[in-house]
Structure 1
Amino acid sequence: MRNKENLCICGPPGTGKSHFCEALGQAAIEAGLPVAWFTIEDLGALVRRHRVDDSITRALARLIRTDLIIIDDIGLLPVNPDAADGFYRLVDAAYERRALAVSSNLHPSGCDEIHAETLATATVDRLLHHAHVVVTQR
């Protein structure tokens, strides 16, 4: 977290991805670091809520102040356009400034299932730069 490196945990459901992210977040809190936790659906709701008055940039700026941002359960449900937009914006805003931990049942190479190809490429590029990728198995 202090090195602002990302963690991408991917694999099938039931293999401990969310549990690991929860433990990482708890360890950060116990070390006195601020943590933000979202599911991808929560992120979509945040975008919708702030789209009305065009304050999403300010809302994300508040999140970027935390040392660790956890996005859980990407790919578990179909990702709506607001969630995809919020995910890209968050990854872009945090790029090399904050640590992100992402859990997904999709491998990072499968981000085109979340975004249009161009946006997926940009998201994966920023997410995987300085990242540790853990693939879980049953």
Structure 2
Amino acid sequence: MSTTELSQVMVKSYLKQLRLTRMATDYEALAREAEQRGLGYLGYLQALLEGELAHRQEQQLRQRLKAAAFPYQKRLEDFDFSLIPSVPKVRLLELAQGAFLAGHDNVLFIGPSGIGKTHLLMGLGRALCLQGYRVLFRSAVTLATELEMAHKELRLPRLLASYRRFDLILVDELGYLPFAKQTSELLFQFFSDRYERASVALTSNLAFAQWTQVFGNEQMTAALLDRLVHRSHILLMEGESFRFRHSLQKQDEAS
């Protein structure tokens, strides 16, 4: 083995030991390119580091999107804001930059079924993943089930602590089903635990005055709303159901 070949083997071994996987893959090709372009040692090093950094950022993004547990992908760019003029596009795009998370503010999407609340919720969450924030998606029913199981197994404090690792927790479809007394109390504990500590974003088909239908106890519901609404960005959505509109279009096309 020549001295050059031995050096190549050693360099690749060192890069793998240091877990610089992209550099280990690219260093030979980039060395040839740097030589052809006359980049010099610093130019070559810069190209190597840029490739490694981009690779790590892509890996981290994939990990954040996986950890978010979105049931499917929705993007803000794909939402037709012209159909729901009550939703200010500029405001959504500002929220998607993530500044509200520093103050532990909440985002509440309130409106009837079928007008895109879940799309905006997941689109906002995805955009924040792209910004480097840690996001978790849960339907209200799934969240309630997790809390119930943790309470039954005496690990509720540990579960709440694990939720705190996320900058934002998305809670979808709060209000579609009423909860039993104990479940309501556990959800209250969840939201109270995040109050002024970390942010939540949620969707609900119910006006605030109707939330007692879901949580039962008026006093607890009032206390919950007080925590959620304080320092919140509230988006009241109005419009015709997308699904209803799509159904009518299909009927027109068939006739």
TM-score range, shorter chain: over 0.9
Residue in 1 aligned with 2:228? 127
Cα drift, residue 79 of structure 1: 3.0
**Aligned counterparts of 1:27 and 1:80: Cα–Cα separation in 2:** 34
Q: Are 2:125 and 1:6 equivalent residues in the alignment?
A: no
**Aligned counterparts of 1:83 and 1:36: Cα–Cα separation in 2:** 20
- TM-score, normalised to structure 1's length? 0.92
**Aligned counterparts of 2:165 and 2:114: Cα–Cα separation in 1:** 31
Cα drift, residue 101 of structure 1: 0.4
Secondary structure of the residue aligned to 1:18 is helix
**Aligned counterparts of 2:107 and 2:183: Cα–Cα separation in 1:** 19
For 2:230, give the aligned amino acid: H
Structure 1's unaligned 5+ residue stretches are none
Q: Are 2:252 and 1:137 equivalent residues in the alignment?
A: no
Which aligned pairs between 1:1-138 and structure 2 lie closer than 5 A? Answer: 1-115=101-215, 116-138=217-239
Percent identical among aligned pairs is 28
Structure 2's unaligned 5+ residue stretches are 1-100, 240-255
Secondary structure of the residue aligned to 2:136 is strand
For 1:34, give the aligned amino acid: R
More strand by share: 1
For 1:71, give the aligned amino acid: V
**Aligned counterparts of 2:183 and 2:207: Cα–Cα separation in 1:** 18
Q: Of the two structures, which has the highest relative contact order with CA contacts closer than 8 Å and spacing of 6 or more?
A: 1
Q: Which shifted more, 51-60 or 64-73?
A: 51-60
Cα drift, residue 84 of structure 1: 2.1
Larger radius of gyration: 2
Q: Which shifted more, 64-73 or 77-86?
A: 77-86
Secondary structure of the residue aligned to 2:102 is coil
For 1:125, give the aligned amino acid: D
Cα drift, residue 81 of structure 1: 3.7
**Aligned counterparts of 2:178 and 2:222: Cα–Cα separation in 1:** 19
**Aligned counterparts of 2:170 and 2:120: Cα–Cα separation in 1:** 11
**Aligned counterparts of 2:174 and 2:202: Cα–Cα separation in 1:** 8
More helix by share: 2
- TM-score, normalised to structure 2's length? 0.52
Number of residues of Structure 1 aligned to a counterpart in Structure 2? 138
Cα drift, residue 83 of structure 1: 4.0
Secondary structure of the residue aligned to 2:190 is helix
Cα drift, residue 56 of structure 1: 1.0
The superposition leaves residues 65-112 of structure 1 with CA deviations (integer Å, 9 ceiling, x where unpaired) of 210011100112333445423321121001011111010001223221
For 2:228, give the aligned amino acid: L
